[in-house]
Amino acid sequence: MGKISVANLKKTIYYLKRNGIKNTCYAMRERLEERNATSYTYAPISEEEKRKQREWSKDKQIRFSIVVPTYRTNEVYLYEMIQSVAEQTYPHWELILADATEDDSVKRNIDAILCDKITGVTDKVRYIKLAENAGIAANTNQALLYATGDYIGLLDHDDVLTENALYEMALCIEEGKKQGRELQMLYSDEDKCNGDRTKYYEPHHKEKFNLDLLLSNNYICHFLVMKSELIKELGFRSRYDGAQDYDLVLRGAQKLGKQQENIVHISKVLYHWRCHTGSTAENPQSKQYAYDAGLMALQDYADEMGYGAKAEALKHLGFYTLRYPDGALKVRSDLGAVGGRVLRKNGILGTKKLIGGRMDICDKRVRVYYENIPAAYSGYMHRAVLTQQAEAVDIRCIQVRGECRELFEQIIGVPYKEIYADGNQDLIFDASILPRDTDYKAVSIKFCEALQKAGLSILYQPQMEITWKT
């Protein structure tokens, strides 16, 4: 999808109007570099793997309800959506189609599809004619009333599931049971496809549940499955039409609270998001109201949590941040520290690259997220500029909760002295007092591990940054 298209041109012009020429130039350069550096091919599962999955699934008891609100759905898209459910290797499902179309065109197409093209599943497909088109949230709520499954999955009327989508969900749920856990929310990776599904591109490889990343963007998105009781209790709210799924997930996370181990990510592409004229994926500006609704959902979440923070939109549509007037540590008792970006000037050109920030241990080595990308870039799925939870942050740009500073001094070996971060009012630890031979990564990991053992979380806020000169 590296070719110049009308849709990409529209996106660029819209971005230019919102963010100016300098930001647009950086965004275009980063996008081109990404396309030149990566390639993606979606590979369906093999026939042998399908056979194994069907055999495993025979005696399983978990039932899924796939809920799809329809409205004037394109006949081809309707057929491919139904087909993608009918071809699941996991057989214990029902498909609920809640139709708000004014006439009977969708109903006639469904009947024709089940009669002539997809046979043997008529008893598993339920068509519900809605009295009116009351909006996506209200329409979906009507569909939920008819769902009888243990888990409910959300599928858009013009998208498709991969054949192993429900199998992977069931497998994960069964593994959870063996560990004594009843999983409440499950989500997978996804990709995009063009209108006729001849090309698949832009895979979204997600990470395990990260609450603060969710407060920056609905990265969970597709394919989402929730425990039936939970989703029916929460329901969808019409006030957030366009971002009703984001509002749902935020409230689900709030409801589960400290049981976040029951929110699970499946690191496989199980959902194809179709991009066609008028879709949000193809033309984000066409649904500006959806991004406004997402901002409102985030603000309401922050208010419910008592954060006293203001939700603001970032440069990229659908991405947000929470501004804490007195800092996150003041209002969030769950946090032990907040860390930001550590930048270094790149030679005589004077440009800056990221050398420190969010970190963790991967394969027994310290991994620095977003390392070596230019400061003006936003990174994969814009994550480099999003607030998120972290296992560790770099002590060269860190704020530590007052009660934790004695622990900091014990581990790091120097007094906790503060300075202002580059160009803003964030007070951070003065790392210049550290010995010159300090292993910054090692001591950062050691201190942050101690915070986590004390039951405290760590927040990465890229808006806070410092340029490291030595």
Domain residue extents for the chain: 58-290, 324-467
Signed CA dihedral, 431, 437, 441, 447: sign only: negative
The CATH homologous superfamily to which domain 58-290 belongs is: Spore Coat Polysaccharide Biosynthesis Protein SpsA; Chain A (3.90.550.10)
Note the pLDDT of residue 443: 96
Note the pLDDT of residue 347: 63
Length in residues, the chain = 470
C-alpha span between 464 and 442 (Å, rounded) = 21
Note the pLDDT of residue 12: 60
Note the pLDDT of residue 28: 65
CB 5 within 8 A of CB 13: no
> Three-class SS of residue 193?
strand
Query: Which of the residues in the chain have pLDDT under 70?
Result: 1-19, 22-37, 277-286, 347-350, 423, 470
pTM for the full predicted model: 0.91
Note the pLDDT of residue 338: 98
Burial class (CB in 10 A: 0-12, 13-18, 19+), 3: exposed
Torsion angle defined by CA atoms of residues 374, 378, 381 and 386, in that order, rounded to the nearest 10 degrees: 120
Note the pLDDT of residue 223: 97
Note the pLDDT of residue 421: 85
Note the pLDDT of residue 345: 85
